[in-house]
Amino acid sequence: MTLGSIPPSLGKISSLRILSISRNNLGGNIPAEIGRLSNLHVLEQSSNKLLGAVPPQLYNISTLRIFSITNNLLSGRIPATVGLTLPNLTLFSADLNQFFGSIPTTLANALGLIKFSIEDNSITGPIPQNLGRLQELQVLHFGHNPLGTGKANDISFISSLTNCTNLQILSLSRIQIGGILPTAIANLSTKLTSLWLNDNIISSSLPSGIGNLELYLSNNSFTGEIPSTIGDSSELQILVLEQNMLTGQIPASLAKLNFISTLNLSYNMLEGEVPMDGIFANSSTFLALGNGKLCGGIKALNLSSCPKPTKKKAKLSTPIVIVIAITIPLAIVLLLIFAYAIHRLRSSKQQLSFSSAAEKQNQKLSHAELYDSTNDFSSENLIGEGKYGSVYKGVLKPGEQMVAVKVLKIHQHGAHKSFLAECVALRNIRHRNLVKIITSCSSLDFKHNDFKALIFKYVPNGILENWLHPRSAEEEGQSLMKLQLIQRLNIAIDVASVLDYLHNHCGTPIIHCDIKPSNIFLGDDFRALVSDFGLAKFLSSIKGKSHQHQSSSVAIRGTVGYVAPEYGMGGEVSTQGDVYSYGILLLELFTGKRPTDSMFTEDFSLHSYVKTALSHQVMEIVDPKISMEAESIAGMITNTSKGSIISQEKCYLSMFWIGVSCSAKIKRDRMNIKDVLSGLQAIRNEFIRVINESQMR
């Protein structure tokens, strides 16, 4: 409950030097009259419910040293002149608000600045290159802002920070910056203890000179091997390198370092034997999930045993050959040599043939091959299109294999990260209701531009979206004829089965983040196949580290109409977010109405539309296509008893109730996906029983 607002009369106390009113549940706007306090040194208004823009008069109090407005509902821009009008500023903290615009370059004029923190806002880039002037700077928090511009030099500003010799904490999490990490990162302040670069699109090898830091580098595109000097420090180090593209073996030298408290190397491409001592002896502090070629390690890691070195067969030495040549008639020797040569030749051909077949099966395709297979990526072969990619039907030669080619929109901001996320996810999951990936392509096109694509097994019946909402008379005819009620129920069960697998049976839970009809393909048997893991997130398995929770932060993770309400308010990504999307999908599947239909407004949604009908008019909201189809099933309606009709209505009621429960506004009110799956299976059994009874009469 809001206690009140800041009284404008405070602006009359001209001698006031400290105004600290944090954590008082105050609401309303900040009075412009506060700007009259010309002797004010400290202004603390954090953790209230203050609204609107900060009055420009406050940015003109030249005596101000501490300006803290964290955790409110404030908006607007940080003035371009802030470093000039607040020259004595030592602390500026505006985290957890709704500020937008760019970081002023004049900030570098506040030479005494010690802490600057604007996390969790909507500040955009580029990041000023002159921040190195702030030689007193100790803490710099830019995290959870869309600062990236999509240019290769996004991260180059770090080089200027080498002059900030007092810097201790540098937080750049989820700011959407890309490019190659400058080597100057190793020359940052010797006092630096924490470096947060996770959830960006940085692509470079790991610098060897950053071993004395608490590192958070997960969810990037770091490549190459892990330097043996990482973790070489005498300081409560935490090294988080999960979800990158690191290769090679884990340096055995890391086992000798006693100061690493957490080491997370999950979801990379590491290989070889895992050490068993030091940090590697504790499965709660060392994590290496999703590295398919790792072996050995302690039993709790559940890795396969490393292969034992095979003994090579002794080769016939030259002296023995000479002795044989002397003691055995020459003809026999020649015969033996000839037979041996024939054997080796045949063996070599068989081995070559096998290798070639294996390589052909798993090789990465070129841009030219995909260009030819899709008829120059023609619009006639376009299956579907999303924010980050377009999907084309193609035919690979030789063999005439039908495929679906997802071509990355390489210039779309965030597309590269989406491509990597999908690669990582698909590398670690297997389920009968997932679209099967065949291979990938990462090369250059005919104009020498980057080209990336994923190649999937072709699914003949297209996407569910087109069956629920036909775009043409031909599609409409197909949907009326083939997509029957029991098939819709099977589709719902298939998708729930995938989510149950992703959330509960993958070791580390995977959140899909974009469940919707256009991401569900239908196989030739109308089996549902879930696709598009470009927004997928792995839930961190490090407990007690709130910063490890995957957050939607600035960008809403998902599609309008299907995205969970909490994501729109910066809530954490969770399994219940997928459950919400699934609930909307279930309601759409049986009502035939999109959540973005024009009939729905802010106060009246697909969820409330169905919920209102649950009490007395369930059959009135059923998709008319289903009703028409039901009437054609062997006298389903006309020749059945009243009891069967009631049972049919009961099945619909149960399905809609599950959909409404899953799409509840508050996530703690939503069903668990395990219960959803078992509930739908029970409904299917009951519905089949009703059909069988009606056909027997």
Q: What residues are labeled active site?
A: 514
Two structure tokens written together for 333: 């020797």
Are 375 and 393 in contact by the 8 Å Cβ rule? The answer is: no
Q: Can you list the alpha helix ranges (DSSP code H) found in 592-672? A: 606-613, 624-631, 642-662
What SS3 class is residue 196?
strand
- Alpha carbons 201 and 176: distance in angstroms, whole number: 6
Tabulate helix, strand, coil % of the chain (nearest 5): 35, 20, 45
- Alpha carbons 61 and 196: distance in angstroms, whole number: 33
Are 471 and 569 in contact by the 8 Å Cβ rule? The answer is: no
HSE, side-chain direction, 13 A CA sphere, residue 27 = 4
99 dihedral zone (left: phi>0; alpha: psi -120 to 50; beta): beta
What SS3 class is residue 406?
strand
- Alpha carbons 669 and 579: distance in angstroms, whole number: 11
Are 72 and 52 in contact by the 8 Å Cβ rule? The answer is: no
List the one residue out of 651, 645, 648, 672 whose CA is nearest residue 661: 672
How far is CA 46 from each of CA 27, 69, 103, 138, rounded to the nearest angstrom? 11, 4, 21, 21
State the maximum Cα–Cα separation within the chain, in Å, rounded to a whole number: 120
CA 179 from chain centre, in angstroms, equals: 19
Are 260 and 287 in contact by the 8 Å Cβ rule? The answer is: no
Spell out a b/e string for 272-300, using b for 16 or more CB atoms within 10 Å of the CB, else e.
Answer: ebbbeebbbeeeeebbbbbbeebbebbee
Spell out a b/e string for 369-391, using b for 16 or more CB atoms within 10 Å of the CB, else e.
Answer: bbbebbeebeeebebbebebbbb
Burial of 667: CB neighbours in 10 Å, binned 0-12, 13-18, 19+: middle
